[in-house]
Amino acid sequence: MKPNYVRVIIDRAIQREFDYSVPETLADRIDIGSRVRVPFRDKSALATVLATLEQSDAKGIRPIEALVGEAPAISESLLELAKWMSAYYCCPLETVIRSLLPQVIRRAEVGWKKRLLVQPLTKIENSEAGVADKIDNLRKRAPRQAELFDAIVRLEKPMPAAELLRKTSFDNQTLRALVKRGLIKLREETVERDPHADEQFVATTNLELNAEQALALNKITDALAAPERAKPILLHGVTGSGKTEIYLQAIRVALERGRSAIVLVPEISLTPQTVERFKSRFAEMHEAVAVLHSHLSQGERHDEWHKIHSGRARIVIGARSAVFAPLKDVGLIIVDEEHETTYKQEEAPRYHARDVAVVRAKIEKCAVVLGSATPSLESYHNATTGKYELLTLSQRVDDQRMPLMRIVDLRQERRKEKIAPILSEKLSQAIADRLEKREQTILFLNRRGFSTSLLCSNCGEARNCPNCSVALTFHRHMARLSCHLCGHTAAVPKKCPECGKDSLIYAGFGTEKVESTVSHLFPKANVRRMDADSMTRKEAYRETLRNFRTGKIDILVGTQMIAKGLHFPNVTLVGIINADLALHLPDFRAGERTFQLLTQVAGRAGRGETAGEVFVQTYTPFSPSIQFARHHDFPGYFQQELEFRERCDFPPFKHAILITVRSAHEGRAKLSAETLVRRLKESLGSEFILGETTPAPLEKLQGQFRFHILLRGEAIMRLSRLARETLDKLPLPEDVIATVDVDPYQLL
Ligand code: ADP
Ligand code: ZN
């Protein structure tokens, strides 16, 4: 049925829906999920069709101006998902849609890439009357043109103009001259930008699964066959237990049944290695695997999106936002490393891709698998209470042993040396031993820079960021101080700007200092650093990984960039320089993060023939997260952490909502937050826990003073709605902003 009217939501958030009439010419092509351009006030605006209508009571209805793109950009199930997100995450629907559709598609600014093909000349054309004369003429007057013409005559099939010019070293002008003379023809063609075009993928086949793997795959294929009855599956498998192999085989089954699959991986694990594993397994299916990540150019993103939307791609592998991939017939959604906090988006809509994946699976009636070596407390709790199905892989493939974890007590080291060294004696001995055996070492520290603060030993002042309440980090390679939160940089003062004394000292250390210390201690070793500072060039990352793989690098120093998903059989030693960094953050997940990080980093050691060894340097050797990680005891750790969460009414027992009220004006922010708390007190029932207004741990960020209000409760949908309604009714001063974060991960 052709719609007479449509109800749309306009991109610019105004939280209202509007009706428009549909011109006859567009009626066949418009449907729910279509993108349209409509007149709005005195301008035109982009909008999404939410419903098609036969009638509308709205007054002053105007017609749609144009359709943007062809088939509806958003399927009905994705629209349903968007509505759920809007309600759950307390966020206007148009903001959700902004996340759901890449900008290139939403605005339809970028199109297909075109290129020109040089057509070979047929015999007939070539012998046409007059051509021979023209050529003779050309040979005398423009010999270069004639030469190019001869080259084109020799072509057997069409060739891209750019390629021809490159190969023959003629310029574009010469080519154009030939066209103008009517001697040759060019044809325009649409080409797909393929970021992996010049890579070769060698086909791989299914490996024979071990018993645990086979059981897991069986359960997943059962879920594929009857998704309505199946629960989400949590695949808990130690690092190297063969989870990815199971994903690959499960996807194969889904494809055989005519369904498609989405694989989410944390951005950081979306390495060439990972992509290659997927592309190679499905190498025989041309175009089958689409890859979505944040480094795609606008044009590449446009093409990948269309490849998925049109159904040519059957497998999508990507980071967080790939959960919205416009695939049809989705049969399987996999969320690898489901515990990763990067799945949480830290700007509106503040969604968690793992949770969105579970909801999408429910809407699309497909199977969903969450995999991890260190499941989040939320997911594991869901599994132990029967909401999810738990599958376990307890062994590494080939029965490799778990690495031996040694704890180094930095308090004792400090007693020996007065100041704690960056590398304890034990750790440096272990490195020396590896160097001798020609084995490799990874050193991990989750902090960039050289020194983490510049202090005055006379007056005690640190150099702080003028915009944020944190100390500036000293970076030696640029010889400047820099703020890791807002990017502010400053020159390094010679004297203390506060007291004028020549008494500045560098305190604390980051990866840059570790690198320099290690190079100093082991002058013969090849040491490289891998963090956001050293990997600014796109190629640097691949290059470093390649050199590490081929053994050109002996010691790799890095931040979380090296913690995840890399397989290097010759790495037999991992050193965690300071395990306490995460533990002391004011965050109820601090212990969980430490446990996960230690386990993940340790998983990098000993993947080959030789067993691995891990040194964990810490000031709190007896903290539970460190002790349980040391014994590879996930259930033990889970139990004690769960008790703590229950005692304190934290997730997974209660949902949390964090409201942040901020302003450049401290007093106004505080006052607004306090007023908001009073209103919330009136509107929230007693089943919810309402916290007081507190200054955020990070009181000042990018020039804004920040206050927190934490709400907790079990009925999250109701709590979300009440919070949103209360906020909407509260008039905030113009320079005060309140943000709502449902299931927050960032509590700073
Ligand atoms: P995970 O994803 O759990 O870390 P992977 O799937 O990456 O584990 O497996 C680790 C290594 O073991 C990979 O090199 C993989 O090819 C290999 N592997 C996985 N399953 C098997 C199997 N059944 N037989 C032999 N090798 C396997
Ligand atoms: Zn700053």
Q: What is the 3-state secondary structure (H, E, C) of 164-208?
A: HHHHHCCCHHHHHHHHHCCCCCEEEEEECCCCCCCCCCCCCCCCC
Atom of ligand 1 nearest to the CA of 277: 16
**Sign (positive or negative) of CA dihedral 680, 686, 688, 693:** positive
**Nearest ligand to residue 471 Cα:** 2
CA atoms within 13 A on the CB side of 422: 21
322, with CB counted inside 10 A (0-12, 13-18, 19+), is: buried
**Nearest ligand to residue 473 Cα:** 2
Is the model's pLDDT at 123 over the cut of 60?
Answer: no
Atom of ligand 1 nearest to the CA of 238: 3
User: What is the pLDDT at residue 565?
Assistant: 57
Please give the mean pLDDT across all residues of the chain: 89
Contact residues of ligand 1, CB 6 A cut-off = 207-210, 213, 237, 239-245, 397
What percent of the chain shows pLDDT beyond 90?
A: 59
Closest alpha carbon to 748 in 706, 696, 710: 696
Give the residue, by CA position, lying nearest to ligand 1 atom 18. 242
DSSP symbol at 11: S
Atom of ligand 1 nearest to the CA of 239: 4
How many whole angstroms from 197 Cα to the centroid of ligand 1? 27
- Count H helices and E strands in the chain, helices first: 23, 31
Atom of ligand 1 nearest to the CA of 373: 3
Which of 206, 236, 244 to mutate for ligand 1's pocket (most ligand atoms within 8 Å of CB)? 244
User: What is the pLDDT at residue 724?
Assistant: 92
Contacts 24+ apart (CB under 8 A), 412-418: 413/617
Is position 483 within any domain?
no
Compute the 3-state secondary structure of the chain and give helix, strand, coil in percent, each to the nearest 5: 35, 25, 40
Atom of ligand 1 nearest to the CA of 209: 23
How many whole angstroms from 702 Cα to the centroid of ligand 2? 6
Report how far residue 621's alpha carbon sits from residue 475's, in angstroms, rounded to the nearest whole number.
Answer: 30
722's tokens:
């009440």
569/640 same-domain check: yes
Closest alpha carbon to 401 in 603, 561, 217, 597: 603
Is position 519 within any domain?
yes
Atom of ligand 1 nearest to the CA of 245: 6
Atom of ligand 1 nearest to the CA of 247: 6
How many whole angstroms from 400 Cα to the centroid of ligand 1? 11
301/352 same-domain check: yes
27's tokens:
């009626």
Range 495-509 average pLDDT? 87
**Nearest ligand to residue 263 Cα:** 1
Sort residue 577 into left (φ over 0), alpha (ψ -120 to 50) or beta. Answer: alpha
How many whole angstroms from 257 Cα to the centroid of ligand 1? 24
User: What is the pLDDT at residue 111?
Assistant: 65
How many whole angstroms from 659 Cα to the centroid of ligand 2? 22
**Nearest ligand to residue 463 Cα:** 2
**Nearest ligand to residue 698 Cα:** 2
Is position 489 within any domain?
no
User: What is the pLDDT at residue 268?
Assistant: 76
Q: Which domain holds residue 167?
A: 113-191
178/218 same-domain check: no
Report how far residue 328's alpha carbon sits from residue 676's, in angstroms, rounded to the nearest whole number.
Answer: 44
What percent of the chain shows pLDDT beyond 70?
A: 95
Is position 313 within any domain?
yes
Is position 700 within any domain?
yes
User: What's the CATH code of the domain at 52?
Assistant: 3.40.1440.60
Give the residue, by CA position, lying nearest to ligand 1 atom 10. 240
Range 333-346 average pLDDT? 95
SS3 590: helix
Q: In what side-by-side order are the strands of the sheet with 613-618? A: 404-409, 613-618, 571-576, 440-444, 555-558, 527-530
Give the residue, by CA position, lying nearest to ligand 1 atom 15. 242
User: What is the pLDDT at residue 89?
Assistant: 96
Atom of ligand 1 nearest to the CA of 393: 3
How many whole angstroms from 387 Cα to the centroid of ligand 1? 28
User: What is the pLDDT at residue 564?
Assistant: 64
Q: What is the pLDDT of residues 582-600, one digit of tens each?
A: 777 778 898 999 999 888 8
How many whole angstroms from 172 Cα to the centroid of ligand 1? 51
Phi, psi of 145 (to 5 degrees): -60, -40
Range 352-377 average pLDDT? 97
CB contact at 8 A, 577 and 448: no
Range 214-225 average pLDDT? 97
Sorted by sequence, the CB contacts under 8 Å of residue 167 that are 6+ apart come out as none
Q: Give the end of a domain, one of 191, 220, 241.
A: 191
Which of 281, 336, 397, 549 to mutate for ligand 1's pocket (most ligand atoms within 8 Å of CB)? 397
DSSP symbol at 606: -
The more confident residue out of 226 and 601 is 226
How many whole angstroms from 396 Cα to the centroid of ligand 1? 8
Is position 502 within any domain?
no
118/39 same-domain check: no
How many whole angstroms from 362 Cα to the centroid of ligand 1? 29
Which of 245, 248, 278 to mutate for ligand 1's pocket (most ligand atoms within 8 Å of CB)? 245
Give the residue, by CA position, lying nearest to ligand 1 atom 19. 242
How many whole angstroms from 103 Cα to the centroid of ligand 2? 29
Lowest mean pLDDT segment, chosen from 494-503, 613-622, 648-657: 494-503
How many whole angstroms from 280 Cα to the centroid of ligand 2? 44
SS3 532: coil
257/350 same-domain check: yes
Atom of ligand 1 nearest to the CA of 213: 23
How many whole angstroms from 245 Cα to the centroid of ligand 1? 6
**Nearest ligand to residue 701 Cα:** 2
Query: Residues of 329-344 as b/e, b for ≥16 C-beta within 10 angstroms?
Result: ebbbbbbbbbbbebbb
Q: At what angle do helices 76-88 and 716-729 cross, to 10 degrees?
A: 70
286/142 same-domain check: no
Range 340-359 average pLDDT? 96
Atom of ligand 1 nearest to the CA of 241: 3
Q: Give the end of a domain, one of 600, 616, 644.
A: 644
User: What's the CATH code of the domain at 594?
Assistant: 3.40.50.300
**Nearest ligand to residue 240 Cα:** 1
Q: What is the pLDDT of residues 294-337, one digit of tens each?
A: 888 888 888 899 999 999 999 999 999 999 999 999 999 999 99
Range 536-543 average pLDDT? 80
Closest alpha carbon to 63 in 125, 3, 118, 16: 3
**Nearest ligand to residue 488 Cα:** 2
User: What is the pLDDT at residue 401?
Assistant: 78
In this prediction the pTM is: 0.86
554/635 same-domain check: yes
Is position 485 within any domain?
no
Q: Give the end of a domain, one of 354, 376, 397.
A: 397
Tell me how far the alpha carbon of residue 676 is from its chain's centroid. 33
304/319 same-domain check: yes
* Confidence category of residue 115, pLDDT binned at 50, 70, 90: confident
172/224 same-domain check: no
Maximum pairwise Cα distance, the chain: 98
How many whole angstroms from 609 Cα to the centroid of ligand 1? 14
Q: What is the pLDDT of residues 151-192, one digit of tens each?
A: 888 887 888 888 888 888 888 888 888 888 888 888 877 777
Give the residue, by CA position, lying nearest to ligand 1 atom 20. 242
Sorted by sequence, the CB contacts under 8 Å of residue 143 that are 6+ apart come out as none
Rounded (5°) CA angle 515-519-523 = 170
C-alpha dist (Å) from residue 408 to 279, 313, 430, 576: 42, 50, 12, 10
Q: What is the pLDDT of residues 689-720, one digit of tens each?
A: 999 999 999 999 999 999 999 999 999 999 99
248/341 same-domain check: yes
Range 520-525 average pLDDT? 95
181/253 same-domain check: no
User: What is the pLDDT at residue 312?
Assistant: 92
171/264 same-domain check: no
Range 523-552 average pLDDT? 88
Report how far residue 208's alpha carbon sits from residue 219's, in angstroms, rounded to the nearest whole number.
Answer: 17
Q: What is the pLDDT of residues 276-288, one digit of tens each?
A: 899 999 988 878 9
C-alpha dist (Å) from residue 457 to 49, 454, 463, 507, 629: 64, 10, 12, 10, 38
How many whole angstroms from 356 Cα to the centroid of ligand 1? 28
User: What is the pLDDT at residue 126?
Assistant: 62
Is position 424 within any domain?
yes
Is the model's pLDDT at 113 over the cut of 80?
Answer: no
Query: What domain count does the chain have?
Result: 5
Is the model's pLDDT at 360 over the cut of 90?
Answer: yes
